[in-house]
Amino acid sequence: AEEARREAKRQEKERKRLEKLREEEERQRKKDLKEAERKRLLEAKRARKEMEEEKKRLQEEMRIHAEEQRRLAEQAFIQAEELKMQTQLAVEAQEKLEFIQRQRKVMAKKTKEQQQILKANLRTLEENGKRLGVEPLDDKILTPGSVLNEPNNYKVQEKPAKGETEVRLMGLKKIAQETDDQMRKERETTNLHYQILEQEALKVHIAAKKSMKKWTGPGDLPDTGVEEYVEGVSDFEGQTPAEWMVLAPPPPVLEDEPTSGVEGGDSEGEMGKKLKRKPSKLKKSRTRGRNSVG
> Per residue in 4-41, pLDDT tens?
888 888 888 888 999 999 999 999 999 999 999 999 99
Q: Is the pLDDT of residue 140 over 50?
A: no
| CA dihedral (88, 94, 98, 100) positive or negative | positive
Summarize pLDDT for 37-67 with one digit per residue, the tens: 999 999 999 999 999 999 999 999 999 999 9
DSSP designation for 230: T
Least confident of 77-81, 92-96, 271-275: 271-275
| d(C-alpha 93, C-alpha 204), whole Å | 9
Domain residue limits, the chain: 2-217+224-293
**Phi, psi (rounded to 5 degrees) for 185:** -65, -40
Helix or strand run (H / E) with residue 155: strand 154-156
Distance, in Å, from the CA atom of 160 to the CA atom of 204, rounded to the nearest integer, reads: 68
- Which of 179, 166, 175 is CA-nearest to residue 282? 166
Higher pLDDT, 96 or 151: 96
In this prediction, residue 28 carries a pLDDT of 93
pTM of the model: 0.30
From the CB of residue 289, how many other CB atoms can be counted at a distance below 10 Å? Answer: 20
